[in-house]
């Protein structure tokens, strides 16, 4: 064993070994850095990972502090009230109720805002989920990779488009086109019966609830579709091939094998898309009209929580008592709580089943 | 008397499956058509009156170009890359490497990851409001660059952390074990082996985060404000960027401003496309070098299609040690 390629002979074994001599200072410094490199990484990483947590706590604390007067004074009326007025005007006088300064006559009921937020997001989900599922099926089950990969990338580019650009296109091109070519014919032929009346005339100019829902759907399709596509490609081929061998048609394989296999993942992706739709601001402001009413038909202007915060903050600063700004903080807090809850539910479901597709681009 | 009468008839099943096929293609078309329309619409609107001088003339109250707005967006992106990139990558390293079971960090790993997830789902306008009340008004920084960078960074840090963590987790255990067997210290092997082979994934995450950052409007309106020209300070004076131009000029009475809004939209789309395409190039270049892809893919028209359902099982966690990518 001592004669392994003569290597042993090449090591000089001398009494005054270099190991005993003290290495020069720069070598010692380098060694020390190298030995302590890991603890350096650890410290910096530890600080960095605490920062998102700190930001989260900070944001919620700021919102809660800012919103506290509004929460105290608006009470439950905030959630069901239909009047939204800051009391400003020629005779606006600051008064104090329960220790909160506000303008006399200020009354904030956000029912219309919350209604608009929920309904537009639900419309978006109703449109986006079937489209995403169908497209993901077409991409994974029917096409060779050299077609499906560029197509998948094209869908992801849709997600990467800045929402302000989507809003611009929705306001100038898509909304008016929808109003004259889709809404018009539908509204004119809608019978005047209780539920369907909501889809009847007037059908507006293309700026409103349904347009906002459709544009939101376009924005969340990439999230749901990319996640669903990843999930479909993770379904092992054997069950599917077995089902085919038993004589099932494509539709039966899809509905009885593939979909049940990934059901909870799809639910998770849907909830994630819902979270994005609830919080979307700019596109909704541009295509939804941002008018504080519950629309009489599905085509007319509306507003959402996020859109209200954006459009009202400027004017709210004019309220010298600060009560309007506090109320907007309460709105922001409500939106934050809802989207945190929605996201937590989605993550719980998705983490149990698989990974989430990237919201933009996608690896 | 038939023994097969229990199931649906063959005709019905055939119709059902054909309908299903048609519907899936229809869904794909219904998604692709608006996407294509959107891109073509933005390009054609801007192209009909495009002049290159938009890129280098400053904005004036009546028209002009978008020089300072483009520069402003690029500066915002660069600062977000520095701030959020550092914090996000380090946070991702922590979540992937330093959360060991049985230690405080391991016990905290779950909550920290959840906090980061929650933050990534936070509506951007809410963060904008927080930035406005706390930084712009509270700290007296006024509408300016610094609060904008901080709020944008808070928005994208969770995203960068997530992609970093995921790509670090995909580094084969064999690489780490090989590095340890060669006598590298833990920190040295993290820097030279683990981070190096996870780099493409991290870079992809950074590029996508930049795409998010440059397209944001809502949080910037109340943190950065807007101005026609670049200011000389971090705080105290308002800061120009592109998305404001799109958001505000599109329903301005002046036609010149409409044109500027379309131009800004086109420039934004081009920036985002460049970022997405380069991230895609990074991904495909690494896939070419990785082990599983090498055995199945031969370019786009190769003999072996890279069908994920037929791809071989992922390599076992202890892979070949000598196969460290040389980049």
Contacts made by residues B278-285, CB under 8 angstroms, sequence distance 24+: B278/B207, B279/A361, B279/A363, B279/B203, B279/B204, B279/B207, B279/B208, B280/A153, B280/A361, B282/B200, B282/B203, B282/B204, B282/B207, B283/A363, B283/B200, B283/B204, B285/B200
SS3 A101: strand
**pLDDT tens digits for range A90-110:** 667 788 887 787 887 788 989
- Which residues of A fall within a CB distance of 8 Å from B279? 361, 363
A83-112 b/e with 16+ CB inside 10 Å = b? ebebbbeeeeeeeeeeebbbbeebbbbbbb
A306 near B CB under 8 A: yes
Give the contacts of B253 (CB within 8 A, at least 6 positions apart).
none
Identify whether B19 is part of a domain: no
> Do residues B316 and B177 make contact, with C-beta atoms less than 8 angstroms apart?
no
Domains of chain A (ranges; CATH) run: 112-353 (1.10.3720.10)
- Which residues of B fall within a CB distance of 8 Å from A223? none
A123 near B CB under 8 A: no
A247 near B CB under 8 A: no
**Least confident interval from A245-249, A317-321, B3-7, B56-60:** B3-7
The range of the structural domain enclosing residue B74 comes to: 52-287
CA distance A49 to chain B (A): 4
Average pLDDT of chain A to the nearest whole number: 84
- Which residues of A fall within a CB distance of 8 Å from B35? 154-155, 157-158, 218
Q: How many CB atoms lie within 10 A of CB A185?
A: 11
**pLDDT tens digits for range A58-101:** 999 999 999 999 998 888 999 998 888 887 766 677 888 877 87
Q: How far apart are CA B198 and CA B206, in angstroms?
A: 13
Average pLDDT over residues A235-251: 88
Q: How far apart are CA A25 and CA A27, in angstroms?
A: 5
Identify whether B313 is part of a domain: no
Contact B27 A275 (CB under 8 A): no
Of A230, A158, A360, A147, the closest CA to residue B279 belongs to A360
Identify whether B39 is part of a domain: no
Q: How far apart are CA A133 and CA A129, in angstroms?
A: 6
**Least confident interval from A163-172, A282-291, B276-285:** B276-285
Nearest to A161 among B94, B261, B269 (CB): B269
Please tell me whether the interface predicted TM-score (ipTM) of this complex is above 0.90: no
Q: How many CB atoms lie within 10 A of CB B171?
A: 18
Of B269, B208, B205, the closest CA to residue B243 belongs to B269
Give the end-to-end CA distance of chain A in Å, rounded to a whole number: 52
Average pLDDT over residues A114-126: 94
pLDDT band at A234, cuts 50/70/90? Answer: confident
What domain count does chain B have? 1
Q: How far apart are CA B267 and CA B122, in angstroms?
A: 27
CA distance B87 to chain A (A): 5
Residue B306 confidence (pLDDT): 44
Count of CB pairs separated by less than 8 Å, A with B: 323
Of B273, B201, B162, B73, the closest CA to residue A158 belongs to B273
Contact B30 A131 (CB under 8 A): yes
A47 near B CB under 8 A: yes
CATH number, domain containing residue B229: 1.10.3720.10
Of B218, B216, B175, B223, the closest CA to residue B199 belongs to B175
Residue A81 burial (10 A CB sphere; 0-12, 13-18, 19+): middle
Q: How far apart are CA B8 and CA B156, in angstroms?
A: 52
> Do residues B141 and B224 make contact, with C-beta atoms less than 8 angstroms apart?
no
Identify whether B269 is part of a domain: yes
- Which residues of A fall within a CB distance of 8 Å from B250? 168, 171-172, 286
Q: Which residue of B has its CA nearest to A345?
A: B118
Residue B48 burial (10 A CB sphere; 0-12, 13-18, 19+): exposed
Contact A52 B161 (CB under 8 A): yes
Contact A165 B38 (CB under 8 A): yes
Q: How many CB atoms lie within 10 A of CB A1?
A: 4
DSSP A180: I
SS3 A41: helix
Residue A264 confidence (pLDDT): 82
Of A166, A168, A200, the closest CA to residue A183 belongs to A200
Give the end-to-end CA distance of chain B in Å, rounded to a whole number: 72
Identify whether B258 is part of a domain: yes
Q: How far apart are CA A293 and CA A115, in angstroms?
A: 10
- Which residues of A fall within a CB distance of 8 Å from B19? 251
**pLDDT tens digits for range A10-69:** 555 555 555 567 888 888 888 888 778 888 888 888 889 899 899 999 999 999 999 999
Identify whether B121 is part of a domain: yes
Q: Which residue of B has its CA nearest to A151?
A: B32
3-state secondary structure chain B: CCCCCCCCCHHHHHHHHHHHHHHHHHHHHHHHHHHHHHHHHHHHHHHCCCCHHHHCCCEECCEECCHHHHHHHHHHHHHHHHHHHHHHHHHHHHHHHCCCCCCHHHHHHHHHHHHHHHHHCCCHHHHHHHHHHHHHHHCCCCCCHHHHHHHHHHHHHHHHHHHHHHHHHCCCHHHHHHHHHCCCCHHHHHHHHHHHHHHHHHHHHHHHHHHHHHHCCHHHHCCCCCCCCCCCCCCCCCCCCHHHHHHHHCCCCCHHHHHHHHHHHHHHHHHHHHHHHHHHHHHHHHHHHCHHHHHHCCCCCCCCCCCCCCCCCCCCCCCCCCCCCCC
**pLDDT tens digits for range B104-130:** 767 777 888 888 888 888 899 999 999
Identify whether B12 is part of a domain: no
SS3 A204: coil
Q: How far apart are CA A292 and CA A113, in angstroms?
A: 7
Q: In chain B, which residues have pLDDT < 50?
A: 1-2, 5-6, 291-327
Contact A278 B123 (CB under 8 A): yes
Q: Apex CA A279: angle with CA A274 and CA A281, to 5°?
A: 130
Q: How far apart are CA A169 and CA A110, in angstroms?
A: 29
SS3 A290: coil
Cα pseudo-dihedral B26, B31, B32, B37, rounded to 10: 120
- Which residues of A fall within a CB distance of 8 Å from B275? 160, 361
Residue B132 confidence (pLDDT): 93
In this structure, are strands B63-64 and B59-60 parallel, antiparallel, or unpaired?
antiparallel
CA distance A238 to chain B (A): 9
SS3 A161: coil
Contact B27 A63 (CB under 8 A): no
Contact B187 A40 (CB under 8 A): yes
CA distance B200 to chain A (A): 10
Identify whether B41 is part of a domain: no
Which one of A31, A39, A52 makes the best mutation probe of the B interface by having the most chain B beta carbons within 10 Å? A52
Chain A, residues 308-347, CB within 8 A of chain B, namely 309-310, 313, 325, 328-329, 332, 335-336, 339-340, 342-344, 346-347
- Which residues of B fall within a CB distance of 8 Å from A131? 27, 30-31
Q: How far apart are CA A342 and CA B118, in angstroms?
A: 10
A177 near B CB under 8 A: no
Average pLDDT over residues A200-226: 90
Contact B119 A62 (CB under 8 A): no
Q: Which residue of B has its CA nearest to A279?
A: B123
Nearest to A56 among B119, B185, B212 (CB): B119
Q: How many CB atoms lie within 10 A of CB A359?
A: 22
> Do residues B197 and B171 make contact, with C-beta atoms less than 8 angstroms apart?
yes
Nearest to B218 among A49, A51, A281 (CB): A281
The distance from CA A34 to its chain's CA centroid, rounded to whole angstroms, is 43
> Do residues A209 and A296 make contact, with C-beta atoms less than 8 angstroms apart?
no
CA distance B231 to chain A (A): 22
Give the contacts of A231 (CB within 8 A, at least 6 positions apart).
A262, A265, A266, A269, A353, A354
Nearest to A166 among B38, B186, B207 (CB): B38
CA distance A194 to chain B (A): 30
- Which residues of B fall within a CB distance of 8 Å from A157? 35, 39, 272-273, 276
Nearest to A281 among B27, B125, B161 (CB): B125
- Which residues of A fall within a CB distance of 8 Å from B88? 48
Contact B41 A173 (CB under 8 A): yes
Residue A175 confidence (pLDDT): 93
Q: How far apart are CA A154 and CA B40, in angstroms?
A: 13
A231 near B CB under 8 A: no
Q: Which residue of A has its CA nearest to B118?
A: A340
Is the sign of the CA dihedral A130, B273, B200, B281 positive or negative?
Answer: positive
> Do residues A281 and A117 make contact, with C-beta atoms less than 8 angstroms apart?
no
């Amino acid at each position: 064993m001592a004669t392994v390629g003569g290597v042993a002979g090449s090591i000089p074994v001398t009494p005054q070994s270099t190991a005993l001599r003290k290495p020069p200072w720069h070598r010692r410094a380098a060694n020390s850095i190298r030995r302590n490199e890991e603890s350096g990484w650890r410290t910096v990483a530890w600080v960095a990972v605490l920062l998102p947590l700190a930001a989260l706590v900070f944001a919620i604390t700021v919102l809660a502090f800012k919103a506290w007067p509004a929460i105290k004074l608006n009470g439950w009326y905030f959630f069901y009230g239909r009047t939204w007025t800051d009391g400003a005007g020629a005779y606006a006088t600051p008064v104090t109720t329960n220790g909160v300064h506000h303008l006399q006559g200020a009354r904030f009921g956000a029912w219309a805002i919350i209604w608009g937020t929920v309904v537009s997001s639900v419309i978006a989900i109703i449109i986006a989920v079937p489209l995403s599922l169908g497209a993901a099926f077409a991409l994974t089950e029917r096409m060779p990779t050299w077609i499906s990969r560029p197509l998948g990338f094209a869908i992801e580019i849709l997600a990467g488009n800045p929402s302000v650009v989507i809003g611009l296109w929705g306001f100038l091109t898509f909304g008016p086109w929808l109003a004259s070519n889709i809404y018009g014919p539908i509204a004119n032929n809608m019978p005047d019966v209780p539920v369907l009346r909501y889809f009847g005339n007037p059908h507006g100019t293309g700026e409103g609830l349904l347009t906002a829902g459709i544009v939101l759907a376009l924005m969340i399709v990439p999230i749901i579709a990319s996640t669903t596509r990843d999930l479909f490609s993770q379904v092992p081929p054997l069950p599917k091939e077995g089902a085919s061998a038993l004589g099932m048609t494509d539709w039966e394989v899809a509905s009885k094998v593939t979909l049940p296999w990934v059901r909870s993942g799809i639910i998770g992706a849907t909830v994630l898309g819902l979270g994005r739709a609830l919080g979307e601001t700019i596109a909704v402001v541009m295509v939804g009209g941002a008018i504080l009413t519950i629309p009489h038909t599905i085509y007319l202007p509306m507003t959402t929580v996020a859109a209200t915060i954006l459009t009202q903050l400027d004017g709210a600063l004019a309220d010298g008592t600060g009560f309007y700004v506090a109320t907007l903080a309460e709105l922001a807090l409500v939106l934050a709580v809802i989207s945190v809850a929605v996201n937590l539910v989605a993550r719980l479901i998705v983490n149990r089943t698989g990974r989430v597709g990237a919201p933009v681009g996608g690896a | 008397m038939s023994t097969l009468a229990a199931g649906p008839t063959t005709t019905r099943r055939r119709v059902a499956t054909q309908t299903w096929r048609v519907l899936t293609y229809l869904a794909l078309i219904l998604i692709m058509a608006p996407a294509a329309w959107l891109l073509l619409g933005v390009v054609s609107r801007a192209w009909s009156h495009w002049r290159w001088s938009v890129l280098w003339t400053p904005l004036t109250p009546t028209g002009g170009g978008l020089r300072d707005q483009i520069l402003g967006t690029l500066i915002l992106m660069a600062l977000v890359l520095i701030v959020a990139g550092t914090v996000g990558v380090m946070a991702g390293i922590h979540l992937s490497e330093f959360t060991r079971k049985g230690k405080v960090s391991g016990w905290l790993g779950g909550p920290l990851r959840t906090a980061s997830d929650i933050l990534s789902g936070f509506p951007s306008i809410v963060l904008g409001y927080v930035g406005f009340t706390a930084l712009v008004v509270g700290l007296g920084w006024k509408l300016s660059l610094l609060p904008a960078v901080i709020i944008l960074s808070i928005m994208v840090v969770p995203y960068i952390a997530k992609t970093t963590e995921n790509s670090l987790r995909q580094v084969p255990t064999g690489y780490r074990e090989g590095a340890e067997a060669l006598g590298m210290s833990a920190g040295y092997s993290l820097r030279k082996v683990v981070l190096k082979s996870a780099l493409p994934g991290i870079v992809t995450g950074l590029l996508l985060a930049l795409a998010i950052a440059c397209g944001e409007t809502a949080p910037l309106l109340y943190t950065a404000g807007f101005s026609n020209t670049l200011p000389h300070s971090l705080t105290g004076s308002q800061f120009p960027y592109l998305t404001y131009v799109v958001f505000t000029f599109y329903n301005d009475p002046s036609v010149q401003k409409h044109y500027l809004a379309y131009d800004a939209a086109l420039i934004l789309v081009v920036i985002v496309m460049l970022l997405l395409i380069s991230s895609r190039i990074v991904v495909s270049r690494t896939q070419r070098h990785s082990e599983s892809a090498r055995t199945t893919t031969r370019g786009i028209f190769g003999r072996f299609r890279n069908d994920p359902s037929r791809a071989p099982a992922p390599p076992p966690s202890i892979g070949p040690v000598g196969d460290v990518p040389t980049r």
